[in-house]
A = this chain, B = another copy of it.
Amino acid sequence: MNAVHIGVINVSDRAAAGVYDDVPGKAVVETLREYLTTEFEPVYRVIPDEQPELEAAMIEMADVHGCCLIVTTGGTGPAPRDVTPEATEAVCQKMMPGIGELMRTTSLQYVPTAILSRQTAGIRGSTLILNLPGRPKAIRECLDAVFPAVPYCIDLIEGPRLETDESVIKAFRPRSA
């Protein structure tokens, strides 16, 4: 069996320029290591807020590396340079509005500005692409909220079967699956 690949993209002008430490991307990888008992190999990139570059990275991770999941952090706000949702939509065949809705509802328990987040998710072939916010605390809150549905989603798009550490997070698969 092939290794399971998961893409992680920290979308940030400042992290890409080395001005900021790459904290959010590392936070995602650590969280996924806590969640998953299935072994996986991260495919990791730090990319500035440039839509063409971001699209190219997602396409490569999906089509060349065969990532079953790509998680982005950052670039989902209203600022002129924030283009992560646009890049995601451009490379996906199907959009998954419920994932962004739940992430916003979750973040709204903590900050009223959660409604400014334009996070989305979509499907490209057998890859689920998921936008997360850029702040490590919000990243964990959003991932905790939506991850229980992620393994079943990846089953449905014919990706590898992901198993979680149920003491950390419990994947839900409807009985008929």
Interfacial residues, chain A to chain B (CB-CB below 8 A): 77-80, 82, 86, 94-102, 104-105, 108, 111-118, 123, 128, 146, 148-149, 152-153, 156-158, 172-174
Contacts and interface: CB of A to CB of B under 8 A. Distances in A.
Given A97-B100, A102-B108, A78 B123 contact: yes
B100 A116 contact: no
A115 B101 contact: yes
Contact of A98 (B116, B156, B158): B116
Contacts of A113: 148-149, 152-153, 172-174
Contact of A112 (B80, B111, B112, B148): B148
B96 A149 contact: no
A96 B112 contact: no
B78 A94 contact: yes
A159 B95 CA distance: 31
Contact of A149 (B95, B116, B149, B173): B116
7 contacts: A78-B157, A79-B157, A82-B94, A96-B118, A97-B104, A111-B174, A113-B148
A156 B117 CA distance: 12
Nearest to A117: B98
Given A78-B128, A101-B101, A172 B115 contact: no
B102 A115 contact: yes
